[in-house]
Structure 1
């Protein structure tokens, strides 16, 4: 893979990583309530989902999702339903003031990791990124190596985006010092998550 190709891929890829979506919103919310480290660790669920998607796209199965209206519709509706459910759950959560630093046990962290994974895996447009975007930079003669390099770069840049959004979330921690601020964080996060779910439900399958 040439340097010229990488110079085109990296900025375009990072723009996709930094796009504001449900996973990045989730990182901000977790960071605001539980700190930077918790948000970064929780995002391992998202990265695991993306690894699976990259593998699926590399094997050519992503083309099936793009070609099949039924497959796209099923994944889309399941993903949308989960986002709406998660948004409602956040909206209905109690505005209890945390102690000096919330105790995030293994079960709590596992819950956040599972949420990150399900939000990512439930969005069919994510795998279409790897199916439609990656091939533009793949070298036919080095197909598998190209996908490996592109996938590694994508995941590294995604980790940077996660850290940036999580850091932004920690800036909201001041609002966590009173119940009113916590209620507003829950309203904004939950409401926005529901909007993302509605937008996903109405999204059309991309054409070739």
Structure 2
């Protein structure tokens, strides 16, 4: 992979990282409820899933997954179901006051697990890693080192996206001082997550 190809990869990749999606929406919600640092740390859960997908892509196993319509369907249904479940949980969540929410005990493990499972159940992520990254690989050169560079770049840019969306969540948090506003915010996030989950069902296996 040439330096020119890598420089073309970076802005295209960052555009994908910054695209609104279920994980970025989770970062906004977590930051608004529990703070910037908690959201950034919880976001490492999605990095674990993406790192595993990158490893599968680099070893060629993702090609098998991409070729299997049944496996793809299973992941799609699981991802859609999990997002719809999260949506229902947000709709049913209690709209506690802003101060009590900020001081409540937040389980980093639970938040990171949500991020990990949402990322793992996203069929669009599979398509990104199997169709997007290989476009920047020079098959005349060793493939593994190139995937290592591309994968590391992707994860760093994803971490930056986590930080930016968490900062946006902190800004929104300043406006969520009333319980009724917090209820509206949670339900809006829940609605968007549910809509994204339903959109997963429309993703086709190519």
Check whether TM > 0.5: yes
Measure, in 1, the Cα distance between the counterparts of 2:143 and 2:77: 32
Partner residue of 1:94?
Answer: 94
Moved more, 45-54 or 2-11: 2-11
Q: Does 1:167 align with 2:155?
A: no
Moved more, 78-87 or 166-175: 166-175
Instruction: State the shift of 1:159 in Å.
Output: 0.6
Partner residue of 1:138?
Answer: 137
Instruction: State the shift of 1:12 in Å.
Output: 0.5
Partner residue of 1:13?
Answer: 13
Partner residue of 2:197?
Answer: 197
Listed as ranges, the matches of 1:36-185 within 5 Å are 36-99=36-99, 101-105=102-106, 108-140=107-139, 141-185=141-185
Measure, in 1, the Cα distance between the counterparts of 2:123 and 2:115: 15
RMSD between superposed Cα atoms in Å: 1.2
Structure 1 stretches of 5 or more lacking a match?
A: none
Instruction: State the shift of 1:139 in Å.
Output: 2.4
Secondary structure (helix, strand or coil) at the match of 1:177 reads: coil
- For each residue in 1:4-40, what CA deviation from the matched residue of structure 2 results, as whole angstroms up to 9, or x when unmatched? 1111100110010001000000000000111110100
Contact 1:57 1:127 in 2 (8 A): no
Measure, in 1, the Cα distance between the counterparts of 2:69 and 2:142: 31
Partner residue of 2:3?
Answer: 3
Contact 2:98 2:178 in 1 (8 A): no
Contact 1:33 1:176 in 2 (8 A): no
Runs of 4+ in 1 over 3 A off after TM superposition: none
Measure, in 2, the Cα distance between the counterparts of 1:46 and 1:132: 20
Structure 2 stretches of 5 or more lacking a match?
A: none
Contact 2:17 2:161 in 1 (8 A): yes
Instruction: State the shift of 1:62 in Å.
Output: 1.2
